[in-house]
Structure 1
């Protein structure tokens, strides 16, 4: 039986880095990680979804959608949530070389 590294398996099953399929997969994975982080932070603060929703002015259902990565989410909402949870947020933006983007298409 042939063995694959995680990177090889992702390339084979999801698509090569830079492909639309891989980009979509990575985007959804990041949203899921944000949702999991929100849920863990909320529980650490001993808050219900309803209580957190009241803190930022949204309904419990929206907090549930955030935690379960279903529905659209804005950066503004994410920042409001983490602010209410008294959590520090860092964004990392990395610019690609123009040639890198052209080669991946």
Structure 2
């Protein structure tokens, strides 16, 4: 029986790195991870979506969309959310 590395499986099922399919997958994965981190931290801080929304000036529905990765979000909103959650934000850009 042949074994495969994770990268080989990803290349086969999702596409090789640098292809539009793989780029989209990795982008969506990052968005999912950010939403999950926000929800987990919000719950740990014992805040409702409505309370967090009020702190940053958006409605509860916007927080829900952010946590459930169903809408677009600006970098400004993300920074406000993480500041309200007392989270340290580090932005790394590689070109």
TM-score, normalising length from structure 1?
0.87
For the residues of structure 2 that align with 1:57 and 1:45, how far apart are their CA atoms? 18
Which structure has more relative contact order (CA 8 Å, sep 6+)? It is: 1
For the residues of structure 1 that align with 2:9 and 2:68, how far apart are their CA atoms? 25
Residue 4 (structure 1) shift? 1.7
- Segments ≥4 residues shifted beyond 3 Å: none
RMSD (Å), alpha carbons: 0.8
Residue 81 (structure 1) shift? 0.2
For the residues of structure 1 that align with 2:4 and 2:49, how far apart are their CA atoms? 40
For the residues of structure 2 that align with 1:82 and 1:60, how far apart are their CA atoms? 16
Alignment of 1:57-96 (within 5 A): 57-95=57-95
For the residues of structure 1 that align with 2:48 and 2:63, how far apart are their CA atoms? 10
Give the structure 2 partner of residue 98 of structure 1.
none
TM-score, normalising length from structure 2?
0.96
Give the structure 1 partner of residue 54 of structure 2.
54
Residue 2 (structure 1) shift? 3.1
Paired residues, number: 95
For the residues of structure 2 that align with 1:28 and 1:2, how far apart are their CA atoms? 30
| Greater C-alpha Rg | 1
SS in 2 for 1:43: helix
